[in-house]
A and B are shown apart, each in its own frame.
Chain A
Amino acid sequence: MQYMLLVYGDEQLWESARGDDETSDAHGTWLEHLAASRRAGTIGLHPGLTATTLREHDGRVSISDGPFTEAGDVLSAFQVIDCDNLDEAIAIASRIPALHHGFSIEVRPVIAQ
């Protein structure tokens, strides 16, 4: 089995918490532990303002700014893709079949390691 651990929360709270040594150290220790256990890699995401959301409206895929979910939406899948730029990522995302079944696709840039 594989599991994905999704970290949800308030970006601004995290930004300020990360500034203090204790949190920063704890985060570093956690990442080292994760790497040493060889259980998984970590993917960091750029902040929410860099997100783009695709959603189908009247048979047309609309592209809009920011992450947005509607009440009742639940994360169902994720893919990590390698692209030259956002347009390429949008082109690939717009081919995800779930888009035609009311799902929205959030495209979020990954922080380069």
Chain B
Amino acid sequence: MNIAELHRREYGRILASLIRAVKDITLAEDALQEAFAAALEQWPLDGAPTNPVGWLMRTARNKAVDQIRRNVMAEDKRDEIAASISSGDNTPEPTDELRLIFTCCHPSLAPDARVALTLRTICGLTTEEIARAFVVPVPTLAQRLVRAKSKIKLAGIPYEVPADEQLGARLESVLAVVYLVFNEGYAASFGSDMVRADLCAEAIRLNRELVSLLPNESEARSLLALMLFNDARRTTRTDANGEIVLLEHQDRSRWDRAKISEGTELLEQALSSGVAGTYAVQAAIAALHAQAPSIDDTDWPQIAALYGVLLRINPSPVIELNRAVAIAMTEGYERGLELMETIELPGYHLLPASRADLLRRLGRHADAAIAYHEALALVSNEAERRFLERRLSEVIAAI
């Protein structure tokens, strides 16, 4: 394994264990960065050590001790800290990574800070990569990280897996971060930015860790299933020119069967636990799509019913819209339109876009054109804009 790959695979794990030893995220980050720099310098000359992770841990500990010795503080305090950093073994513990995830996703941090911190520390993305992925200026993102780390330290956010009675609520916050990372990458796969598409892989990797570390948490399993189903068809959502391909026209033979069957297995395990949370229901919907041989052979009544379940757990106009689309596919386009009239989603382009689509299918081309115009006024993604413009000119030509 080369050093870049080692960094990619082991960074979060090593950092997590290092933080437990040095009790300071910034100090651990700096020390680990220096250790990787030392590896880049020494390994090509001396050959890689037999235990590269242990070498990195030991070197980073030494760097941290050096750093502490340079700090201005009472000598006995300094020696005490240095001694505690030097002791302990150099094999990362899996629980450390879990501790770090819970710290980074603590609800007392701002949501965007949780995401940035998780990607920086657990996934080892650079500040520049995260800034690019979320389309914010690098200094803004850097500032966000500094503030978050300072809050962890000053406010005493613990470096611990929460107690059982808090675990459920705290895991929700962790899963929300994971799903946000995935969706950011998924939405961006309409574009061509590879860093952003990588976010999907990072979210899946992180969720796999959560499932293996918290095997009894069924919502973690369900979220992994949901992301796998979506990821299985990610590459078929656009054509060679980067244009959007709708679900009904996607080449289902190119959907990743391995991901779909892994998702199915995970979802079955999650559902067998008896409690179906929101991720389980969403995964069940994604599973019905992933397993359907074609758009017409999709179990739309079941999908509509599942959106109904989701609405009861978590009332939201976006879910109402999805339910209306599913109902349109089973009870007729007019019924779908009727339901959409009652949905209030100002500023959300998919409401007029969905209405436009049903009107188009009904042959009401002039009404469809008006709705496409409304959608175009709200859309921000370029690929989606081009798609809507294409549809608009089709319906205008048919008037």
Q: Which residues of A contact B (CB under 8 A)?
A: 46-47, 49-52, 62-66, 83-87, 89-91, 107-109
How far, in whole Å, are A66 and B156 apart by their CA atoms in the complex?
Answer: 14
Known contacts A52-B155, A109-B156; is A65 also within 8 Å of B110 by CB?
yes
Q: Are B147 and A49 in contact (CB under 8 A)?
A: yes
Task: Collect the chain A residues with CB atoms within 8 Å of residue B107's CB.
Answer: 52, 62-65
Known contacts A49-B147, A87-B160, A87-B166; is A63 also within 8 Å of B155 by CB?
no
Partner pick for B157 among A62, A64, A86, CB 8 A cutoff: A86
Q: Are A65 and B157 in contact (CB under 8 A)?
A: no
B81 within 8 A of A: no
14 pairs of residues in contact across A and B, judged by CB atoms under 8 Å: A49-B150, A51-B155, A62-B107, A63-B107, A64-B107, A65-B107, A65-B108, A65-B151, A66-B110, A83-B156, A85-B157, A87-B160, A87-B163, A108-B155
Task: Collect the chain B residues with CB atoms within 8 Å of residue A49's CB.
Answer: 147, 150-151
Task: Collect the chain A residues with CB atoms within 8 Å of residue B147's CB.
Answer: 49
Task: Collect the chain B residues with CB atoms within 8 Å of residue A47's CB.
Answer: 154
Whole-angstrom distance between the Cβ of A10 and the nearest chain B Cβ: 18
Known contacts A65-B110, A66-B110, A90-B108; is A50 also within 8 Å of B162 by CB?
no
Partner pick for B108 among A46, A64, A83, CB 8 A cutoff: A64
A62-B107, A87-B157 given; 19 more Cβ-contact pairs under 8 Å: A46-B155, A47-B154, A49-B147, A49-B150, A50-B150, A50-B155, A52-B155, A63-B107, A63-B108, A64-B108, A65-B107, A65-B110, A84-B158, A85-B156, A85-B157, A85-B158, A86-B158, A87-B162, A89-B156
B371 within 8 A of A: no
Q: Are B155 and A86 in contact (CB under 8 A)?
A: yes
How far, in whole Å, are A51 and B111 apart by their CA atoms in the complex?
Answer: 14
Q: Are B158 and A87 in contact (CB under 8 A)?
A: yes
B109 within 8 A of A: yes
B113 within 8 A of A: yes
Chain B binding site: helix, strand, loop or mixed by DSSP?
loop
Whole-angstrom distance between the Cβ of B175 and the nearest chain A Cβ: 16
Whole-angstrom distance between the Cβ of A108 and the nearest chain B Cβ: 8
Whole-angstrom distance between the Cβ of B239 and the nearest chain A Cβ: 42
Task: Collect the chain A residues with CB atoms within 8 Å of residue B110's CB.
Answer: 65-66
Q: Are A50 and B158 in contact (CB under 8 A)?
A: no
Task: Collect the chain B residues with CB atoms within 8 Å of residue A89's CB.
Answer: 156
Task: Collect the chain B residues with CB atoms within 8 Å of residue A52's CB.
Answer: 107-108, 155
Task: Collect the chain B residues with CB atoms within 8 Å of residue A65's CB.
Answer: 107-111, 113, 151
Task: Collect the chain B residues with CB atoms within 8 Å of residue A63's CB.
Answer: 107-108
Q: Per-residue CB proximity of B124-136 to A under 8 Å, as 1/0?
A: 0000000000000
Partner pick for B154 among A50, A64, A83, A84, CB 8 A cutoff: A50
Task: Collect the chain A residues with CB atoms within 8 Å of residue B150's CB.
Answer: 49-50
How far, in whole Å, are A91 and B163 apart by their CA atoms in the complex?
Answer: 11
Task: Collect the chain A residues with CB atoms within 8 Å of residue B157's CB.
Answer: 85-87
How far, in whole Å, are A83 and B160 apart by their CA atoms in the complex?
Answer: 15
Whole-angstrom distance between the Cβ of B276 and the nearest chain A Cβ: 19
Task: Collect the chain B residues with CB atoms within 8 Å of residue A64's CB.
Answer: 107-108
